[in-house]
Amino acid sequence: MSDSHDQDKPWSRLAESNRLPLVGAALGCVLFGVLMTLVIRGLWQLENTPVAGSFKEEMMHRKTRAMAEILEGLVREDLPSVEASAERMRGIGQKVQWYLSSSRYEDNDGVFRDSTHELIEASRRGDYADAKESALRLEMSCIRCHELINREKRPAP
């Protein structure tokens, strides 16, 4: 099978001895241990870091970032960048739609979705005036919906 030259190498010696399965098993155990440690640590951190927070909060913080990017794109008159940020906003909106489509929030989820859609369309057309208007409507939907939420949270006088 292998010539004597090969047999000098530790690997081929190992391969020929029947210790190979043993070494494999030991390595497997170590890897498994490391993996479990990582998984457990990951789970533990998920519970403890405020960053992970609730799914809702994380999504909403992404909305805040997307809104800031939209504003920045508009002041630079960089409509392709506005379009990209608005697309991201729409994606986030779709992820949280299931809990925002409640009458508690009046029509603000609808305004949010419509104005995001209009902003994407206007940016695509290169229509700066329309893009400005829909961005303002979008931002107003954040403020109005949050106004309702804050009022609900405030203790009754």
Taking CB under 6 A as the criterion, the residue among 15, 67, 71, 84 binding ligand HEC is 67
Task: Using the minimum distance from each CB to ligand HEC, give the nearer residue, 15 or 139.
Answer: 139
CA distance 149 to 151: 5
64 is a site residue for ligand HEC (CB under 6 A): yes
113 is a site residue for ligand HEC (CB under 6 A): no
Taking CB under 6 A as the criterion, the residue among 82, 112, 118, 122 binding ligand HEC is 112
Nearest-5° Cα angle at 134, 104 to 124? 130
Give the closest residue to 145 by CA, choosing from 96, 111, 118: 111
> Is residue 120 within 8 Å of 135, Cβ to Cβ?
no
149 is a site residue for ligand HEC (CB under 6 A): yes
- C-alpha R_g of the chain: 28
| Residues making contact with ligand HEC (CB under 6 A) | 56-57, 60-61, 63-64, 67, 100, 105, 108-109, 112, 138, 141-142, 145-146, 149
